[in-house]
Amino acid sequence: MQNSLLPPSQRCRNQTDKEPTGPFQREKLLKFLEDSAKNEEDWEEAVPFAPGVKRGKVFQSTDEPEGDEKDEEPVDALGRKLKDMEMPIEIDLDDDDEDEDEEEIDDEKFERALDRAPERDLVDLAGILGMHNILNQKQYYNALKGKTQDESTGTSFSGVVRSFEPNAIPDEPINQTNVDDCIKRLEEDDEELKEININNMGLSRERIRTLIKAAALSAHIEKLSMAGVEMKDSEARGLVELLETSPSLQVLNVESNDISPEMLAKLLRATLKTQVLTRFHADNQRSQVLGNQIEMDMMLSIEDNDSLLRVGIAFQSMEARHRVSEALERNLERVRLRRLENSSQA
């Protein structure tokens, strides 16, 4: 490659055989070029130039007529054509007097109508004209929307608006799950017990561990919800064994607890043994930031899992979010194809 910072004498190959005649002199060079240009003979022309002779077809404009054919039109002192000028408009002063009389009559009609109008209509008129400072809020918006003023908004300018009464939303009922009965039925491997919900229950750590151990003994449990029970890593270790051994657990919800990111990664890794779990919800833990290494570990576990369809974890990394979504889409597509195959066989 050539270096553009070098001068041309060093960049280009030397193509001259003459020896230098001396140092550079600008005035002498310009004089030499001027003399050589004057002494150089002109090129020979096929047709010699003759002054006043037009060769070929001469262009003639078709827009304007030539010579005497052009009609002369009268112009004013400023050179404007009189034909293009409009005649001045005559103003009748009598008409102005009649218009003024009509305006006075209209003003009298308006004043008479406003004097006789009820205050309800005046409130609407004030709202339409944008006089919100003399209206309350409901009167103003009713006037804009075309609604009539009623007793709740007030029909006069001194109307008092009642305060807004919010709709009372009842609290969620307290979780009435009998934990002892669930533990007993899990240990007995009850076929009818397929779902356990202990969300937001103030259970002790020992009872949580006992429940998880009992769930590991059941072969029919399908859904286990343990959100908001203040679970820590010591209790979550039992879930690792549950995920590795349970042949029926499909949904696990451990949201709003105190599980560390490392333990969440272990839980996802434990799902690779049975690959039965379809939904895993573990968002809103005390540690909001998972870390790049933990997210990559979770991402690889989800990519290797062929059964997961929903994962409730907030990934911070863009790569982890993208690859996890692609893995879940592949699993959903696999389920769809399996369903179509079963329907075609039936």
Here the CATH number for the domain that contains residue 301 is 3.80.10.10
Q: Which domain holds residue 134?
A: 115-153
Burial class (CB in 10 A: 0-12, 13-18, 19+), 215: buried
What is the distance between the alpha carbons of residues 204 and 243, in angstroms, rounded to a whole number?
22
313 occurs within a structural domain:
yes
Strand, coil or helix: 190: coil
Residues 240 and 204 reside in one and the same domain:
yes
Which whole number is the average pLDDT over 55-81?
A: 62
Q: Give the domain-ending residue among 153, 169, 204.
A: 153
* In the predicted structure, residue 216 carries a pLDDT above the cut 60: yes
Q: Is residue 124 within 8 Å of 143, Cβ to Cβ?
A: yes
Q: How many CA atoms lie within 13 A of 140 on its CB side?
A: 9
Q: Phi and psi at residue 72, in whole multiples of 5°?
A: -85, 125
Which whole number is the average pLDDT over 265-289?
A: 93
Residues 213 and 287 reside in one and the same domain:
yes
Q: What is the pTM of this model?
A: 0.54
Closest listed residue to residue 159, CA positions, set 168, 169, 150: 150
Residues 244 and 290 reside in one and the same domain:
yes
107 occurs within a structural domain:
no
What is the distance between the alpha carbons of residues 160 and 152, in angstroms, rounded to a whole number?
8
Closest listed residue to residue 261, CA positions, set 306, 235, 227, 292: 292
Residues 208 and 335 reside in one and the same domain:
yes
Would you mind telling me the total number of residues written for the chain in this entry? 346
235 occurs within a structural domain:
yes
pLDDT digits (tens, 9 = 90+) for 151-180: 656 656 565 555 657 778 888 788 999 999
244 occurs within a structural domain:
yes
Q: Which helix (H) or strand (E) holds 223?
A: strand 223-225
**Residue 92 pLDDT level (bands cut at 50, 70, 90):** very low
Residues 197 and 337 reside in one and the same domain:
yes
In the chain, the amino acid numbered 242 is L
Residues 125 and 248 reside in one and the same domain:
no
Residue with the larger pLDDT of the pair 40 and 152: 40
Residues 136 and 237 reside in one and the same domain:
no
pLDDT digits (tens, 9 = 90+) for 8-33: 777 777 777 888 788 888 999 999 99
Give the distance between the most distant pair of CA atoms in the chain: 124
Residues 234 and 120 reside in one and the same domain:
no
* In the predicted structure, residue 117 carries a pLDDT above the cut 90: no
* Number of domains within the chain: 2
**Residue 64 pLDDT level (bands cut at 50, 70, 90):** low
Residues 187 and 237 reside in one and the same domain:
yes
26 occurs within a structural domain:
no
CA distance from start to end of the chain: 72
Q: Phi and psi at residue 281, in whole multiples of 5°?
A: -115, 115
CA–centroid distance for 331 within its chain: 28
